[in-house]
């Protein structure tokens, strides 16, 4: 990790660890790094895990020490709002995994998304946002950015380098999400970033679906990478957390923006995220394997119109996914054939292994009916109900048996 002068004194407790000396054959990517990054056992009496450090007041041993901490870019060691050793352990680990300059943690994924945008925009700016963006981010743009006289324009997620036609002199940010929320379009991030940077705009990416293990935003030109750590990083559906990582160009803005809004996450949730990091690679491989198996199996069911999963060879985004991504997560979309409300009720009543609930990325499988997503560029035409599926860590064959049984019952309910 490249340390910046603005990083806090407490980062000395979490020394950067370079694993670039590992042989090129080191695979799968990230396993060893996940086990070691963000740890400083010597600083905590040999404890394997960085402990939960709670606190608001941080005392200085002398007036000279107190004064030395009052640097314009380094107020961190003077108050708990700027983080404890637990915070810094997590932030340094994420920065190393992402390949960015530095990271900052937020109390939710949406907070990370919105504050990453707020860090770079100002009154009178123009912002381009993917039309397939996460719904709450879209709401923030429409409600908050518009009220601040920041013009929001949505673009086709498949635009690629042609986004140059939408970039204006006052375009300050391009917000990408790949694959897209609910509909899973894969964007050509490198082509979009190249054009955005020609206009001196910042590129912000929601990288929650792939996590740092399966997509490297900074290698594709992203300036700020955002993740809902609630999902795969925490991995156990028991904490809310977000994290944003920036390159050297964007880090001063991101750091200052977070400080200005006073955002801080609790150390207990951060500890759960650190715990989740250690098993992320193992879990994500299982999520990928089960998700691809389930998506492929469902694609042939008589009640299914389409499966939305970029790792499947027939998916429209597969070529870019195969070129740019290291792997896939367990989240994908399912478009059913026309189905009555009663049949949908039968489907979900029959499911035993899939919960109905928001979020995803935990060990449990989920199936959620979703309304047709909002679109500005062109309306979506779906054959039937849209479901969001998360493949958990259960046996893939058990999940297939459970879901196919539910679909069979729903299909029969409509008299087929």
CB-CB contact of 252 with 104 (8 Å): no
Cite the active site residues.
81, 134, 206, 231
Structure tokens at 22: 């590992």
319 CB-near residues (< 8 Å, 6+ apart):
none
Q: Which three-class secondary structure state does DSSP give residue 160? A: helix
Give the CB-side neighbour count of residue 379, counting CA atoms within 13 A.
5
CA distance 294 to 312: 11
The H-or-E segment that residue 224 falls in is strand 224-227
Q: In terms of Cα–Cα distance, which of 121, 72, 103 is closest to 274?
A: 103
Q: What are phi and psi of 410, to 5 degrees?
A: -65, -40
391 CB-near residues (< 8 Å, 6+ apart):
287, 290, 291, 293, 294, 330, 331, 332, 365, 399
The residue length of the chain stands at: 416
Provide the β-strand partners of residue 348.
none
According to DSSP, residue 220 is labeled G
Provide the β-strand partners of residue 171.
126
CA distance 332 to 59: 49
Structure tokens at 330: 């367990």
């Amino acid at each position: 990790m490249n340390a910046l002068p603005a990083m806090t004194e407490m980062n000395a407790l979490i020394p950067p660890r370079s694993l670039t000396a590992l042989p090129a054959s080191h695979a799968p990517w990230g396993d060893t790094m996940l086990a070691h990054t963000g740890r400083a056992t010597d600083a905590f009496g040999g404890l394997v895990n960085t402990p939960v450090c709670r606190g608001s007041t941080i005392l200085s041993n002398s007036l000279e020490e107190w004064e030395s901490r009052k640097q314009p870019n380094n107020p961190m060691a003077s108050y708990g709002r700027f983080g404890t050793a637990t915070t810094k352990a997590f932030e340094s680990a994420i920065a190393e995994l992402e390949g960015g300059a530095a990271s900052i943690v937020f109390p939710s994924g949406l907070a990370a998304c919105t504050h990453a945008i707020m860090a770079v925009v100002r009154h009178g700016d123009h912002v381009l946002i993917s039309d397939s963006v996460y719904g709450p981010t879209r709401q923030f743009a429409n409600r908050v950015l518009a009220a601040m006289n920041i013009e929001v324009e949505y673009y086709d997620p498949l635009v690629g380098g042609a986004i140059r036609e939408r970039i204006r002199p006052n375009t300050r940010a391009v917000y990408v999400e790949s694959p897209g929320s609910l509909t899973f379009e894969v964007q050509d991030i490198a082509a979009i970033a190249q054009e955005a940077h020609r206009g001196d705009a910042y590129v912000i990416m929601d990288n929650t679906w792939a996590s740092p293990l399966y997509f490297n935003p900074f290698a594709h030109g992203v300036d700020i990478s955002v993740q809902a750590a609630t999902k795969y990083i925490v991995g156990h559906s028991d904490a809310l957390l977000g994290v944003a990582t920036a390159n050297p160009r964007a880090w001063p803005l991101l750091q200052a923006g977070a400080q200005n809004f006073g955002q801080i996450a609790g150390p207990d949730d951060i500890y759960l995220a650190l715990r989740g990091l250690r098993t992320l690679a193992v879990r994500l491989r299982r999520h990928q394997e089960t998700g691809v198996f389930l998506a492929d199996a469902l694609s042939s069911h008589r009640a299914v119109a389409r499966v939305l999963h970029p790792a499947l060879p027939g998916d429209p985004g597969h070529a870019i996914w195969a070129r740019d991504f290291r792997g896939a997560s367990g989240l994908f979309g399912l478009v059913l054939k026309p189905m009555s409300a009663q049949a949908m009720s039968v489907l979900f009543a029959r499911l035993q292994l899939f919960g109905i609930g928001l979020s995803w990325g935990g060990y449990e499988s989920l199936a959620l009916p979703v309304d047709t997503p909002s679109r500005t560029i062109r309306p979506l035409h779906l054959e039937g109900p849209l479901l969001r599926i998360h493949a958990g860590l259960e046996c893939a064959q058990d999940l297939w048996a459970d879901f196919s049984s539910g679909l069979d019952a729903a299909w029969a309910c409509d008299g087929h």
